Structure 1
Amino acid sequence: MTAVAHDKQLLLPLGVVVRRAPGVTRWVPWNWRAVAVLPGAGPAEWRELRRDGDVVEYHAATLTLDLHHTQTDAYLEALRARVPSVYVVMRPVAAQGGQMPFEVTLVTASPFEAQDYCDTGEEMVERVPMPEGLIALIRDFVAAHHVEEAFKKRKRDWVRVTGSEDGIGDARIPQTTDVYRAPSRARKERMH
């Protein structure tokens, strides 16, 4: 599979590599993490790539990285990071039999979109370093489609400031000293 470029969109298949390692506590037997992406990878579903003792790496899935011309600000933010990264979103599933405990649902180059998934708390979001070729591809896409928006300062709403406070307080209180006083208290004071 190769990248498909439309007028203002780029679609690229990305394979997601997930590593299973022994957990560090007795309550979590396995630690699952997305550790790499494979640009241009073919279809896969939890195909074992490498095994080193109890540590196993799987080509968990191949998803489409969708770069859109309206999101170039987000891609610039990802490229400016100390380590340019893509984000992999995995959703837990009830593992039965030989089924894996996660479904890889999304891969994105937008840190803003990844943040939206972090906010729900239902998915696991992993930050994965971009390979050099992917950095170059995204940089070229941003260079071709990014439009810098000019800063627009908001205009101040001019409000009439004459000192008159129409509508402040309770109209049933005849005096002007404490316009916030409750009407029942004003009546009691007048009676005494």
Structure 2
Amino acid sequence: MSIKPPGTETRSIGIVLERRKVDNPWIDHSWRPVQILLGQPASPRWTRLAAGDGWEWYFAGQAELALYRHETENYQFNLDSTQPSIWVFLRQDGESEHGIELFGATVDPGEAQAHNDTGDDLVESIAMPDDIVAWVSGYIQSHPPARPYRKRKRTRADPEALALRPRVRPRLYESDPLRQMPEDE
């Protein structure tokens, strides 16, 4: 069970990956997303969908796109770009049959950059389908970006409060007036 902040909307998508042979002395193939499937496909994970000369397509599994109301500015930035994208996160996994696992997906360019900065994930973008564009646009309209940050005005310093005051010396032995004369001792 996951706890979602108020105003969060989610949508499941399916990810189709392409495994392509490469001519490289260090690796023999590369992975990249090639298609987004809307909804929850009935196929099991890692179902081989198509094959050709040097390439194969696999249904890698489902990912959940989540929209958060405090990130609408990033979503708008994505939609305003020349090619709105969905970023898919793939993670190396030496224990799985294919050596890679679907880790997640997002429409937030900031989140994609954070995953890319870690160095653990392979982050690839794919064109956002029109249905997802409409869904994200509707979410942005119903949750407009937060008001812009306004720097608060500082209160002016009171020069009188900062001025030097004469030092007041406390009187010795105020409670006993007889002890104030040192010559009597």
SS of 2:46's partner is: strand
Whether the 8 Å contact between 2:70 and 2:145 is mirrored in structure 1 is no
Structure 2 residue ranges without an equivalent (≥5): 159-185
TM-aligned CA deviation for residue 24 of structure 1: 2.6
Match of 1:116 in 2: 114
Whether the 8 Å contact between 2:88 and 2:125 is mirrored in structure 1 is yes
Whether the 8 Å contact between 1:78 and 1:111 is mirrored in structure 2 is yes
Moved more, 128-137 or 26-35: 26-35
After TM superposition, what 4+ stretches of structure 1 lie above 3 angstroms from structure 2? 153-160
**Which is greater in Rg?**
2
Match of 1:174 in 2: none
TM-aligned CA deviation for residue 101 of structure 1: 1.2
Aligned letter for 1:134?
I
Q: Deviations over 1:99-122 (max 9, x none)?
A: 111111111110101111111111
Moved more, 14-23 or 29-38: 29-38
Match of 1:34 in 2: 33
Whether the 8 Å contact between 1:13 and 1:42 is mirrored in structure 2 is no
Structure 1 residue ranges without an equivalent (≥5): 1-5, 161-192
TM-score normalised by L of structure 2: 0.75
Q: Partners of 2:22 and 2:79 in 1: how far apart?
A: 32
Q: Partners of 1:59 and 1:159 in 2: how far apart?
A: 65
Q: Deviations over 1:74-130 (max 9, x none)?
A: 11111111100011111101056xx11111111111010111111111110011110
Q: Partners of 1:7 and 1:18 in 2: how far apart?
A: 33
Query: Are residues 55 and 159 of structure 1, via their aligned partners in 2, closer, same or farther at CA, if it must alter by over 3 Å?
Result: farther
Alignment partner of 1:150 is 2:148: yes
Q: Partners of 2:31 and 2:95 in 1: how far apart?
A: 13
TM-score normalised by L of structure 1: 0.72
Q: Partners of 1:87 and 1:138 in 2: how far apart?
A: 14
Alignment partner of 1:94 is 2:94: yes
Q: Deviations over 1:18-77 (max 9, x none)?
A: 101111313221011112211213253111111112211111010111112121111111
Aligned CA RMSD, in angstroms, stands at: 2.3
Q: Partners of 1:148 and 1:10 in 2: how far apart?
A: 17
Q: Partners of 1:110 and 1:63 in 2: how far apart?
A: 14
Whether the 8 Å contact between 2:70 and 2:146 is mirrored in structure 1 is no
Aligned letter for 1:103?
E
Q: Partners of 2:90 and 2:157 in 1: how far apart?
A: 51
Q: Partners of 2:25 and 2:39 in 1: how far apart?
A: 38
